[in-house]
Structure 1
């Protein structure tokens, strides 16, 4: 084979390098930073005088005192996907009609929803979540309620009880609220009071952990009051769903929603039939597409967990390994920190949907006498929010009153 002059080789190598770098130049550039919390659009959804606010809350069976009127907005803002890519989400921001220039902030994390249009920023009539947010604004706080990813006007699917994305959506709504308030010549106190119900109880503890831990620069935590959250999926809620302590119809709903959501992030199965029994396997993704309500989904699902899941996946649910273990870890661990602020958990021993042991395990995990648990007694899951939220508002007003 004839030799090739070194100069020719050098020219050839240089040409190859130039062509490769030219072709890949765009890949080598750092990706532009996502402007998290940037406001995309705002739409007024409620403009209430004090009298109208009183009537609005009364219609929602909320009888707490009203200090002022409220202006509430649906806000679409920039945030991130579970994988860290760019997306948008929507949320509710409620500002009190007061003369205070500096406002303390309550973040309310809503409970389980499957229908996009039921999110707090969209549905103000048939769901209580907007009214619960406005309750805090009626007492003089700025109140925010994230719809979470994939609900409200957010694109795509909702990653149900995925704590990292609940936190990112919540923090970025706080950033959007700060911008909105500044445009109205008002400042938001950076230390946030956090509460939430059911899924939102778990989201609230995750948000509190992030705020105290410095994962949301510019914000901190001043008090935390979660209600009836599934804080321990691995040791309490999943086992209760399978052994019958959670009513079978509720258990099937929770399991199906959680597994389909986590599969989109962690790839728990290749085909729905790997996890779900026939004939529901062919329909499971369509049931949780954000366009079906609870009644439609409940009527389509089988009656018991052992009819929902394949034997292999039923065993995997009880003893997760691999990607299933990663998915569980993304829902659990929200109580695994030691608060430096007062924390009041609320739960009911009569609650069969989200078992009381979840809250007991949460308080134990926090390892501090600053975290307390109030037993609301022999009432059902929905009633825990109705009973606890007025108590939480009263506690917030005593602990860190609105300005």
Structure 2
């Protein structure tokens, strides 16, 4: 495979100075992760997703090992988001039904349909680029709650239809992702609905914490499958929930031996690197939409930033031009590497790794060596077949 496009790609790097603190165990506690693990692993259809080694790619990049957590089989929804939105929905229903009945109810009571009448009275809403909304719709369908999903102008119709197929009412707006978040909040407040968001804001923390706790199932599976910690983990950005959850979970599992955290974002939606530069959660204006639809977020989650500000050492931005070649490298592997079909947002970390490992200044800055073992979260499979097919048809320039 020619790597010219990665060699020539212009990446922005910012080396952060993480502030010491306890966010890795305070924002999402070990009990939060354990509760989610206990619940989600008993859901019908649960199975750990594969942690795949890519030995030929590791050799090409002069690394010891490249490990790719393939989330495409997750509950048949094609994305790690299945762990977050549905679990957070269940927790919202648990809290609201407990309050309505004046007694504590369990997640099992709701999951098994014992409180179906009560669940049907509670409408859950969220904004999404696709995968979070699909998870929420799937969870609402399982737990018997009405669901409304707000999407922005650039969300593909295929992703909208996947949510409708799960029973959600889908509302498309003319603005961007952040505008869809604002509308979901406003209409929920006006109608007495409940927002299940993967991003936090002042006064709104429980559902985003539950979303990140749900993601912890994925991190625990990774750790249990490894006999020693990786040296680096490259994590997609977005609002920061995935990166923060994985970073916190790795620290809780491996302690002082936890890997160096590298956050990778689209250059067109780089709110986390800007937050790192400013030393506080910072919103950026999105001028053009990135092909990495799930990462097209201009405002970071405050809770996620609390964790990343203490754990992330490096931030990278990547151009959209790297996504097609990365997807094709996975789907048409070299040597004994397995073939993996991945979505455009799911390969951002891998695209950043390939480019950084091949560019000597970045390789040195990130401490990538022949002994390095790198963990990647392949956070989505083919959630939009048309986009995947178009990327696979592009000329083989990378």
* Structure-2-length-normalised TM-score: 0.31
Answer 1 or 2: higher relative contact order, Cα 8 Å, separation at least 6.
Answer: 2
Higher helix share: 2
* Structure-1-length-normalised TM-score: 0.31
Higher strand share: 1
